[in-house]
Structure 1
Amino acid sequence: MTSSTAKTGTPEVNPVTAADISASLKAGFSDFLARPVMSGAFGLFYVVFGIFFLWCLVWLGKVWMILPAAVGFPLVAPFAAAGLYEMSRRLQAGERFGWSEILTVMADQRKREMGWMAFVTLFVFWVWMYQIRLWLALILRDAPFSDLDGFLNTVFFTPQGWLFLAVGTCAGAILSAALFSLTVIAMPMLMDRDTDFVTAMLTSIRVVVENPVVMLGWAAIISGVMLVSMAPAFLGLILALPILGHTTWHLYRRAVQPLEG
């Protein structure tokens, strides 16, 4: 158990305002400044994995997968930020910690419910990649491209490509909204409480449903920052991922009431 307040049960959900988002961002940035090297290391790992993943696609000759993989890669960011949530929890509690404490807590998650959340996250990413392949086959089946430049030219400079982008964007928005609703609160909640992943997901959905405008704004901030940070060869994510991860922890603490007892 990672927190002395962790108990089983269904927590109460608080109203979330724009002021909560702002305060959480300030607290998240403060956590990053408190441990910049450790926080940045989690971002660096995420970046290295992303670059390696795209290199594998190039090596396998799956050029059509590079663009959707790059766009869909932020979907797995909430799971990648697990260590950042634990860092913020300890900073908020005034606890001292080093790499061994954080990595031990992360490793212990395999005995709890985080593994199921990882499955949900990766399943949605798989669905994203599969539906892109489906639209590719239906819309661009006659388009000639054998390399990345040919694929990008087809997608961005032909009517079939524009249709592909429009359909893919709509489908991706639906998947992203679903995953955001399921995980935005669930991930840090599982790090903080001894609860099951279904309860965590339902709590996350309740926070989004009861605060739709504010949470939609937070989703837009995450999407915008992540996509812009990916532009310079993913390198901006070294800073963006940890700051957003720390911020998500503080937003969770504001959105969900601590359990009594």
Structure 2
Amino acid sequence: MAAGNMASVGGATPVLRMEDVFAALRAGWADFRAYPLFGLFFAGVYVVAGILIAQSLLARGGISWLITAAAGFPLIAPFVAVGLYEVSRRREQGLPMRWPDIIGAVRGRGDDQLMLMGAFLFVLFGFWVVLARGVIAIFLADADMAGLVADPRGFLLSSQGMMMLLVGSAFGGLMALLVFSITVFSLPMLVDRPVDVITAIVTSVGAVRANPGTTLTWAAMIAILLFAGMLPFFLGLLVVLPVLAHATWHLYRRAIGSGQG
């Protein structure tokens, strides 16, 4: 990795290029292939949780809640990926791969900073669900919910449905951009270094602002791949989520970290 692509906290502004993104994806795929069980475990927890939530909402007839929960579910994926950041870190440094150490990575370095970030993400997820449910309620105030369930395509293609999608997508895009900016490099940093949440968030947002084209392209790639992975009833996430998590670690190394990418 070129020295120009590295930056310590408070150091030179990192420079990321698309070649770094593709190199990170290759490294992420290599990590997954080397230790697939860890990836399948963490992705499996995420997938099972998604399926259980979907089944619970469908059983209660909560189609609108299901739509909002499914749309916001990727917001908590970065925290699920913490254990996989630890896998990549240990592989990079030649450390032993022990399940207690990998699973215990979610506790951070014993200072509760990672758990604090996780709680923050779940609060944001809850806020998104309530906000998105409010948008649906506004546009369905004069519509029959049963009609939406019976003919979702017909409703979504109507002027009312398209306006709902437009407003919901705008709010969702802003929320996703916020979560991406504050987590894309902060969570790997909290795994890697003894820093506080505020320092990690400020560093992450600063790196995104310094590399808007590359990081926003990476964000779009993550969104597309996560959405594609969710289509076959979340099962595609068993591969997509761990590869993206490992790749994010390597992109963090190229942007901020001091190890090899």
TM over 0.5: yes
Structure 1 equivalent of residue 251 of structure 2: 251
Equivalence map 1:93-104=2 (5 Å) = 93-104=93-104
Q: What's the offset of the Cα at 1:75?
A: 0.9
Q: How many residues align?
A: 252
My pick for the range that moved more, 240-249 or 148-157, is 148-157
* 1:195-246 deviations in Å (ceiling 9; x for gaps): 1001100000001000000001000100000001100000000000000000
Runs of 5+ unmatched residues, structure 2: 1-7
| Worse-matched range after superposition: 170-179 or 96-105 | 96-105
Distance 1:110 1:119, change over 3 A: farther
In the aligned structure 1, how far is the partner of 2:73 from the partner of 2:54? 10
Aligned alpha-carbon RMSD (Å): 2.0
Post-superposition Cα deviations, 1:134-157, rounded to whole Å, max 9, x if no partner, equal 212222101101387237346423
What are the within-5 Å matches in structure 2 for residues 205-244 of structure 1? 205-244=205-244
Q: Give 3-state SS (helix, strand or coil) of 1:146's partner.
A: helix
TM-score norm. by structure 1 comes to 0.90
How many angstroms does 1:60 deviate by? 3.0
Question: Using CA pairs below 8 Å that are at least 6 residues apart, which structure has the higher relative contact order?
Answer: 1
Partner of 1:44: 44
2:106–2:114 contact (8 Å) kept in structure 1: no
Q: Residues 161-172 of structure 1: matches in 2 within 5 Å?
A: 161-172=161-172
**Structure 1 residues 22 and 108: alpha-carbon distance in aligned structure 2, compared to 1, 3 A threshold:** closer
Q: Judging changes above 3 Å, is the alpha-carbon distance between structure 1 residues 95 and 110 closer, same or farther for their aligned structure 2 residues?
A: closer
Q: Please list every run of 5 or more consecutive structure 1 residues that lacks an aligned counterpart in the other structure.
A: 1-7
Q: Distance in 1 between matches of 2:87 and 2:192?
A: 11
Residues 148 and 66 of structure 1: CA distance in aligned 2, closer, same or farther (over 3 Å): farther
Offset from partner CA, 1:172-210 (integer Å, 9 cap, x none): 001111110011000110011101001100000001000
- 1:1-261 matches, cutoff 5 A: 10=10, 12-108=12-108, 111-146=111-146, 149-150=149-150, 152-153=152-153, 155-258=155-258
The one-letter amino acid paired with 1:234 is F
Deviation at 1:64, TM superposition (A): 0.8
Q: Which moved more, 1:85-94 or 1:145-154?
A: 145-154
Q: Which runs of 4+ in 1 moved over 3 A?
A: 8-13, 107-111
How far off is 1:109 after superposition?
5.5
Deviations, residues 40-80 of structure 1 (Å, cap 9, x unaligned): 11111110011111112123332211112112111110001
Task: With the length of structure 2 as denominator, give the TM-score of the two structures.
Answer: 0.90
Partner-residue secondary structure (3-state), 2:95: coil
